[in-house]
Structure 1
Amino acid sequence: MIDPAKNQLFESQAQVIAYLKAAAANPEFHWTFEDDRCLDYRKLTPQVGVSCYIHCADKILLLERSDKVACPRTWSTVSGYIDKLRLIETDINIFQAHLLEELVEEVGWTVDPTMQLAYGSPDALIKPGVEVHFELFTLTVPTTDLEIQLNDEHLDYCWVDLAELATWDDRLIPGFRSGLAVCGLG
């Protein structure tokens, strides 16, 4: 399943979806959160998530992670583990549907016609004890003046010039720069 040369955990999106559907079919992996039936992704190896690099011209949006999530006090982007059973069981575009929910949850945005959401590529974070498959997206926004409503997963946000991002390397979540490169932004 793992292909370290390609930094991938699955060979195709169809394989990822089959993996998620098989996990969702097992009640051992279920739990309920705020009346939503969820997949307990913490019990899965590998875990599956989405991540979206939000940019405007030559700037990228960074979100500072709170102590409530993994890798606190590092900077990242909108992301989340695939965990909604209703999406896994019924939606044909699980990844985009979940990402749209994460955008509302983490920054308060609904994608509108002034924004361009595009699928990027799969990527993976593979290191001892950690295997996470990500489906990466990019969101191009028309201005950096959009209102951002952070949830409790984040402490702060900022727009950073892509040319200056290298100075942030010690503050970025692991895999951030490689995902950015996979999406053609870094």
Structure 2
Amino acid sequence: MIILGIDPGLRTTGFGVIHKQGSKLRYIASGTIKSGDGDLPARLKVILSGVSELAATYQPDCAAIEKVFVNVNPQSTLLLGQARGAAICALVTHDLAVAEYSPTQVKQAVVGTGRAAKPQVQDMVARLLALPGLPGTDAADALGVAICHAHSNSTLSVISNIAPKLAGLRMRRGRLVG
């Protein structure tokens, strides 16, 4: 399975592409889409076309994107949400399922704690994917989103396989009964 991870940003959007086979993860590509300092519609267009080009180039099976966290400045949060929306539109235009993860979920999946600092995320992403050096912060965050999805998707698959078997079970006095 090829997973495209996106770390949305109005000036810089990070991307990371990984391949998951069984429990093994392999690095494919990462980098950033620079949308500059122009007017908002022009920057959103750069994000939309950049993410669309990534989807066409790497042909991922699915995508994952980081959720917007609420900033102290509501205007910044709204602008980031628009950048995120442009990226999501590009992904769904390519018929990709898009999973969403909070920054805390990504840090938890990659580092083991939801309060990890950016350098910790960079270091663990490099270790998990056996990279020769540290990726940039935006690319590392995007790779972290992809890694988070790879781990979460495995868990969801296990749950979906056992859910039908559990459907007929009930709890009685703290014990499962059939």
Q: Please indicate the TM-score interval, normalised by the length of the shorter structure.
A: under 0.3
Q: Which has the higher strand share?
A: 1
Q: Which has the higher helix share?
A: 2
TM-score under structure 2 length normalisation: 0.24
Considering only CA atoms, is the larger Rg found in Structure 1 or Structure 2?
Answer: 2
TM-score under structure 1 length normalisation: 0.24
